[in-house]
Amino acid sequence: MQKMPPKILVTRKLPSAVEARLSERYDVRLNPDDRPLNRAQLSAAMARYDALVSTVSDALDASILQAPQRRVRMIANVGVGFSNIDMNAARTANIIVSNTPDVLTEATADIALLLILASTRRTSAAEKKLRQGDWRGFSVVDDLGTSVQGKTLGIIGMGRIGRATARRAHFGLGMQVIFYNRTRLADPVKVLGFAARQVDSIDALMGTSDVVSVHVPGGGAGPLISARHIAQMKPSGYLINTARGDSIDQKALVAALVEGRIVGAGLDVYADEPKVPDALLQLDNVTLLPHMGSATAEVRVAMGMLAVDNLDGFFDGSGLVNQVF
């Protein structure tokens, strides 16, 4: 008797090549409408499928992961981050979790660099003026931004994406780099290809950086970048976040921008996606993007294929490529 293929639920629409590969081997339910599943649907799926292919938009908390008559044994998360999954609950339930690092490093670092340039050059406000028909023509004194050459970029989290961003900023823009990381880099020159200074705390970084770029995971008990940290920034400073929205105290950032305590910000992620605070939407000193750090056709296919690699490794017993737990 032929063995039935594992049943897989894909929570969001994936590139067609990835969906085709999944359909070849698995009994797969796709999401052609790309509508996020609600809590009831995710909870019900835990008893109906052998594995989930999830994304950051799926909040898989303890109550969902520990649903009655759970069948799911593996979650292949499409993304480098996994703060959408309660990892303690996954461990308790013995659910294996994988992610998709490496393949999105360069694309996300590109977006970080874009936000550094867009925020410091005030391109969002300038484009808005142009589109609304308020541009009066070239002016020597209008729409002035800030040059970044020779300025200091402070990176919080010197992992893959932090390193790629640091190299772009140093070699491409001529910025000096300081950084905070949970572990010390024994030889930053060897790792980065240039001299960068590591500091021992976020506090030591905030007040000396002209631009602060956040590259840390979210999902903790509270934001790693707190209101106190934001208050330590230079009045001429900019804050960039391409990591997770809950990595920073979003309310404190909005207050600092509204009150002019920092000059600007560039954000690709938000604390309660897809909701973006109205206060942020009204500001002209912040550049806003819709969580598109990895949004190139090539990268999204690579992310999906890596998620399938992890599924294959789990179900054929060869081992996962990127196992988180």
- Residue 38 and residue 20: Cα distance in Å, rounded? 25
Cα 99–chain centre separation: 13
**Nearest Cα to 8, choosing from 76, 61, 70?**
76
Token pair for 114: 């874009």
The three-point CA angle 35-39-40 to 5° equals 100
Point out the catalytic residue in the list 131, 244, 261, 300.
244
Instruction: With CA atoms as reference, report the closest residue to 175 among 190, 158, 196.
Output: 196
Instruction: Please identify which of the residues 70, 106, 167, 273 carries the catalytic annotation.
Output: 273
Can 170 be counted among the known catalytic residues? no
- Catalytic residue of the set 71, 291, 298, 300: 291
Q: What is the CA radius of gyration of the chain?
A: 21
Q: Buried b vs exposed e over 203-223: b needs ≥16 C-beta within 10 Å?
A: ebbbebbbbbbbbbbbeeeeb
All residues at 6 or more sequence positions from 61 whose CB lies less than 8 Å from its CB, including other chains: 86, 89
- Is 291 labeled as catalytic in the residue annotation? yes
Among 215, 200, 230, which Cα is nearest to 116's? Answer: 215
| Residue 244 among the catalytic residues | yes
- Give catalytic residues, as residue numbers: 244, 273, 291
